[in-house]
Every structure is written in structure tokens, then in C-alpha cells.
Structure 1
């Protein structure tokens, strides 16, 4: 396979998502600013409840943000009609969400599952990218129904289905959470190979650092915001639109919420932050 397209550019600006639980408003996203370049592979990391899966569903157009913009190639899908969202998901987007296996046809073979997507208009005839994904997983000639296959083969089939039609943007949520080490690496090999070959932009949610290291960039979320980003050996805190910076997680226990600090500018490119100790507080 060779690159045949440019992946989608994704940018979120001040994205907020609020939902109600037992009559109470809960903010899952608190002003997320994120930019993903065409063809880039980005991992979203963070603890449970940090907002990473919510953000993925907002970019997929499955949820509408309460505020902010979700720009895909400069077009704000948050303002799309339902018909426009359907066109966006069917023409430009590949989805491999949690529980993706449950969306496969259990009585059909891997190749028949891919063909079903083609029958709905995502691809026409034989799909080279999906076929390559199946071949990479050793499933090109698998005739057994997906329902009797192991978890790793089911996940590989779900990936092939998501890549049918060579989507410009692929959104993946915890693809390896139920796989052993060998199966995880095999799926990641296929994922990286197929998206790189056709230039697809990839945004993936994971809790696994080793999985995240296979991506080109890692973005860490906490409390509904982007806290840090970078590559494997370089992580940088991200300044929010309101000027806020999240502390490193290892300091949270000793610098709890409500702590007061002094902030001094050492130079235009450097600041120092010092926690105010209890003994320094006025009576």
C-alpha cells in the first residue's frame, strides 16, 4: 500500500461537555484545546473519568459539545445537522470504539464483515486497505464466523472494518485493553501500518503507556482538560486558555487543591513556583 490521501486535520477549541446525573450537572470536558495535524498519530492518556473517551465521541459527532468548536478540516462539526453528521461519519470517519466487537456480525467471516460495510456505501468492491489489515492479522483466508474467533482476531476484524474505505480520520478507544502482550503488539503493528500507508489521521484513547508510545505524540488529560503533551521522553505541561497549568501528578498529594503558591518570573522563558507552607500563613 502507498499513501493516497491526506488525513484530516482536527482541532478542538474551548470544548465543554456537560451532562446531568441525578439532577446534577457534571462537566466531563472543561475547555479542551487540541490540534492534530493531518496524518498524525496521537494517543489520549488519562485516568478513568478524565474525559478522554468523551472527547473522542465529540470528535466522532456522537455527542454534541455544550460549548466550543470541533473543527475537522476547518469545518465545525458541532454545528452540523444530523444529516451532515451522518455524511461525515460514513464518508470520512473510521470508528473503533469500546465494544466494537459487539458491532460485528457474529455469524459472518472477517471478510464478510468488511464486505457488509462496503454494501452500505463506505467502500465499493474489493477494499485494498481492509484486505491488507486482514492479511496482516492472518485473517485473509479465515472462513469461520467472527463469533467463534478469539478476542485478538475479533479486534483485528473490527480494525479492518473501521479502515474499510480508507477513512481520512480514525478514532480508536482502548483497542488493546483485553489483549495479551503478543496480541497487543500484533494489533498495533497492523494499526500503525495501515494508517501510515494511506495517510489516515489517528486519534486513540488508551490507558496503557506502552500502547501510547507507538503513537507519534501523547496527550495527557486530567479533570476534563489537556494537562500535558509530548513524545515518549519529553512531556510538556499545556497552558490553558485561562492561563492555568496542571501540576505534575506526583505533586498532587503534597500540593492539594486550595494550596497557595507564589509565582515568580525568572526570565521571559522561565518561572518558579513555591508552595506557601502552613508555618508561613498569617494567624
Structure 2
């Protein structure tokens, strides 16, 4: 039975103030992540990826719309309830390993500290060595000072801390961005192990196409909306709730504004066909 949780958003909108103006970071996200999925969020800087991840984790509240993590509608929870959800059901790896760790504790000490609140509530959690082994952290370094650890090992430890209470959802904001290729692949394997052995739902933000390729599903965010989805390396456009179909940049280059497309049914598929001679070019 999967240990992962389902994530659902409906009409998700997030607006923030910048230089006296309202800016829409997200403009109506409709999305379902199934329990136990591994998903990469892609898109250019400023597209809204990290904002969406923060909303998943209850670090911010949406301006409008709904977001459900498991049975919890995040926008309706009190701060105390959000703290409880983050402590038990959602693990998060913030960008930069140092932001996730206490420098004066060892690797084992960091995992045990992250479990303290859950243990006080009577929640059963795996022992620290089990968590470190799950992510592939070397046992000989479990009690070493953090100052002597490589960037790759620090990032593995950040993942271990995030999953120390065996959450149903693991969120990672660019978890491999500061690593070389070898260390990156080790961290990706750790995420896959957590998913495979515990069934944890994994969602990561990334700019790295190799990281995206390691995920069974990719979701591209463009201008605050879901612009495309990828499954097994193939990209698909996504029909929005209002019926619009955002096209990827390479398609827009071939189909400038004003192009006329005909939609027709072809067996069990719907096909868009460009009308020759139409468009503004």
C-alpha cells in the first residue's frame, strides 16, 4: 500500500505585491498529483514553480482557489494545524543544504532533532540510522562534524532530515542545483529510493533537464499556468479549465498570434490542424 499522499489544486491563484503593484505568480492552477508519483516542476525563472511548491508545503496561503494535501485543505488550516501537517505529513528540502541543517549537530543528530516534535506527539518514526541508510548516507560519516562533509553528502543529509518522520509528501526546491553531476545523481537516487521503499510522493522544482528526465512525470509552468506535461519523455499540451491550450515556445514560433487551427476528431484522438494561409505571417 502506498505511503504517499495525493495533492490536488483547483483554480489556484497567488498574488503578491511588488513595487506597489499586484503581480500574479499563479493564475489558476488545476493539477492532480497521485499518491506515490515522482514529479518535476519545470519552467523559466519567475514562472511560479517555487511559489507552487511553497503552497504545497503550507509555507504560504493562496490568494484564491483550493489546495488539498491528502485530506487537508491547506488554506483552511490554522497556523498550529499547518505546523502539525508539516511536522508529520510534508517534508521539504529548501534550496541550499545549509538552510535545512543545524551546523553544530552531526548527521545523526540532525535527523534525531527533526524527529523530536513527532516523537513528543507519540508518532512512530524510524530510527536515525534507518533514515540515513535509506538515502545512502555513509554510516562512517554519521557522527562526523558537518563542516567536513562534501556538498553532496550535505544534500543527502538534507533529504534525510526532510523524510525523517516518514512524510507522505516530499518537496524539493532545486535539490541538486549546487552539485556536480556525480553528486546530483546520488541525490536523485536517494529521492527514488524514498519513493520506491516508502511510497512517498515526490515533487521537485528544477531547471536541470537531466533531473527532469529522471522523473516519470514533468509539469511545465509558464506565466503562472500549467503550460505542458511530460510523460516518459513525451510532451503534451494541457487544456486549462477555461478551455485554453497554452502552447510551448517552439510551437508558438511556428504558430504566431492570429494563426487559425482546426480541431477535429481522429478516432480516439483530437487533432489540431493549421489552416494554410491563415495567421498574421
> Would you call these one fold, judging by a TM-score over 0.5?
yes
Question: Which residue number corresponds to residue 51 of structure 2?
Answer: 54
Report the alpha carbon displacement of residue 5 of structure 1 after superposing the two structures with TM: 4.9
Question: Which residue number corresponds to residue 143 of structure 2?
Answer: 143
Higher mean Cα deviation, 203-212 or 66-75? 66-75
1:270 maps to 2:271: yes
Distance 1:100 1:79, change over 3 A: farther
What SS does structure 1 have at the residue aligned with 2:44? coil
- Partners of 1:221 and 1:278 lie apart in 2 by 27
CA contact (8 A) 2:125 2:166 kept: no
What value does the CA root-mean-square deviation take over the aligned residues? 2.0
Report the alpha carbon displacement of residue 133 of structure 1 after superposing the two structures with TM: 3.3
CA contact (8 A) 1:212 1:218 kept: yes
Q: Which of 64, 71, 89 is matched with 1:67 structurally?
A: 64
Cα deviation code 1:230-279 (max 9, x no counterpart): 223321100111111112211444655xx212232333722324484447
Question: Which residue number corresponds to residue 185 of structure 1?
Answer: 185
Question: Which residue number corresponds to residue 152 of structure 2?
Answer: 152
CA contact (8 A) 2:6 2:33 kept: yes
Aligned residues: 273
Report the alpha carbon displacement of residue 13 of structure 1 after superposing the two structures with TM: 0.7
Q: Which of 259, 262, 270 is matched with 1:261 structurally?
A: 259
Report the alpha carbon displacement of residue 7 of structure 1 after superposing the two structures with TM: 0.8
CA contact (8 A) 1:129 1:165 kept: no
- Partners of 2:263 and 2:168 lie apart in 1 by 43
Question: Which residue number corresponds to residue 21 of structure 1?
Answer: 18
Q: Structure 2 unaligned runs (5+)?
A: none
Distance 1:254 1:234, change over 3 A: closer
Distance 1:234 1:278, change over 3 A: closer
- Partners of 2:140 and 2:273 lie apart in 1 by 57
Report the alpha carbon displacement of residue 23 of structure 1 after superposing the two structures with TM: 0.6
Question: Which residue number corresponds to residue 111 of structure 1?
Answer: 108
Question: Which residue number corresponds to residue 86 of structure 2?
Answer: 89
- Partners of 2:104 and 2:245 lie apart in 1 by 50
- Partners of 1:61 and 1:73 lie apart in 2 by 13
Question: Which residue number corresponds to residue 167 of structure 1?
Answer: 167
Distance 1:129 1:77, change over 3 A: farther
TM-score (ref. length: structure 2): 0.90
Question: Which residue number corresponds to residue 4 of structure 2?
Answer: 7
Cα deviation code 1:21-40 (max 9, x no counterpart): 01100000010111011111
1:176 maps to 2:173: no
- Partners of 2:190 and 2:63 lie apart in 1 by 36
What SS does structure 2 have at the residue aligned with 1:111? helix
Q: Structure 1 unaligned runs (5+)?
A: none
Cα deviation code 1:213-234 (max 9, x no counterpart): 2212111111111111122332
- Partners of 1:192 and 1:36 lie apart in 2 by 16
Higher mean Cα deviation, 6-15 or 243-252? 243-252
- Partners of 1:235 and 1:15 lie apart in 2 by 23
TM-score (ref. length: structure 1): 0.89
